[in-house]
Amino acid sequence: MNSDVEIAGDPLALPHLMPPAPAHPATVAGFARLARTIAADRPCWVPLVQYDPTSRWYHRLRTGPGYEVWLLSWLPGQGSGRHDHGASSGVFTVLDGELTEHSREQRHVLRPDAQRVFAPGYVHEVVNDGLTPAVSLHVYFPGLTEMAMHPSPVACAAASAALVAD
């Protein structure tokens, strides 16, 4: 084999020439900071956003050791249904538009830059009650492996009332 290029020294001994690997989050505050950092990098995520008229659109944006980052879009009227995230904790941030989170007896209207942090087993529903599309960013740690659906309290009350009426 004939080549005009010769490598002097050990080519694997170049770590001093490469930027250091970014540290991965290890705390809730670190994951919240990661979400804010990604949210601020609009050129990174805006071109990826799509809207699906039949259901929420979602795209896994990034993974790291023990976590996943998801980008979601919501057209008016679209929602997640009542659910939990199994053993995963999470942080979600509204990037564009407005979303409403319903949990237990509370309602939170979330606008851009608003963040919500939740623990494993937290039951909530997220809905776009507005008139314009919305985009959100979700970080799950550990990565999302289950999303158990829960009946709506209204549906449970109606089912109980029907049983009592019979």
Q: What is the pLDDT along the chain (166 residues), one digit of tens a residue?
A: 556 766 666 656 656 666 666 677 889 999 999 999 999 999 999 999 999 999 999 999 999 988 999 999 999 999 999 999 999 999 999 999 999 999 988 999 999 999 999 999 999 999 999 999 999 999 999 999 898 999 977 544 444 444 445 5
- Decide if 138 contacts 73 (C-beta within 8 A): no
Query: In the numeric block, which tokens belong to residue 4?
Result: 């005009």
- Give the gyration radius of the chain's Cα atoms: 22
d(CA 81, CA 77): 11
Question: CB–CB of 86/123 below 8 Å?
Answer: no
pTM of the model: 0.79
Q: Structural domains in the chain?
A: 24-165 (2.60.120.10)
CA 27 to chain centre: 16
pLDDT at 26: 85
